[in-house]
């Protein structure tokens, strides 16, 4: 899958989360997906059920996550987000095929960018820069790919 395909899956994931569509999220997250906290002593999710329990806790507490920026490579998406219970966060979602297999939180953008640029670095060339569609009004900033030379894409739905 290319960086644009990975970005589409991330949009689909965010949309399913926003709608609390756990059936669709179950199709996107692998059963053995893990979510590792930036703090080694912090809470970590060992599987999809743990991840969904975390999602449900936040939703039930009325905590709304605001996604700020996305950058994609063929197998990873870097996400910056904010919420009342954790402040600002930088996470890298790892994809295997069309499924999320790992999420790792990082203490800084620099650490997350280093992880994203690791062995799965996107090939050089034009990147996908997608202005956020109105359907994702809660996603405030421009979505960018990890490749080097951005270009503008027309607004609309990216699926």
Q: pLDDT value at position 80?
A: 92
pTM for this predicted structure: 0.74
Taking only the tens place, the pLDDT of each residue in 83-115 is: 877 778 899 999 999 999 999 999 999 999 887
SS3 content of the chain, % helix, strand, coil (to 5): 30, 35, 35
Lowest mean pLDDT of 41-45, 90-94, 130-134, name the range.
Answer: 130-134
Domains of the chain with CATH codes: 3-150 (3.10.450.50)
Give CA–CA dist 140/155, Å, rounded.
14
User: Which pLDDT belongs to residue 146?
Assistant: 39
Is the pLDDT assigned to residue 11 strictly greater than 60? yes
């Amino acid at each position: 899958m290319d960086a644009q395909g990975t970005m589409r899956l991330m949009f689909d994931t965010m949309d399913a989360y926003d709608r609390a569509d756990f059936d669709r999220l179950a199709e996107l997250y692998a059963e053995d997906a893990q979510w590792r906290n930036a703090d080694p002593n912090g809470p970590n999710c060992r599987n999809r059920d743990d991840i969904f329990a975390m999602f449900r806790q936040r939703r039930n507490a009325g905590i709304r996550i605001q996604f700020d920026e996305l950058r994609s490579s063929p197998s990873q998406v870097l996400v910056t987000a904010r919420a009342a219970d954790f402040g600002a966060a930088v996470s890298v979602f790892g994809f295997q095929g069309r499924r999320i297999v790992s999420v790792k939180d990082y203490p800084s953008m620099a650490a997350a960018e280093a992880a994203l640029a690791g062995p799965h670095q996107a090939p050089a060339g034009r990147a996908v820069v997608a202005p956020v569609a109105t359907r994702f009004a809660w996603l405030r900033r421009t979505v960018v790919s990890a490749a080097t030379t951005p270009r503008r894409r027309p607004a609309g739905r990216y699926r």
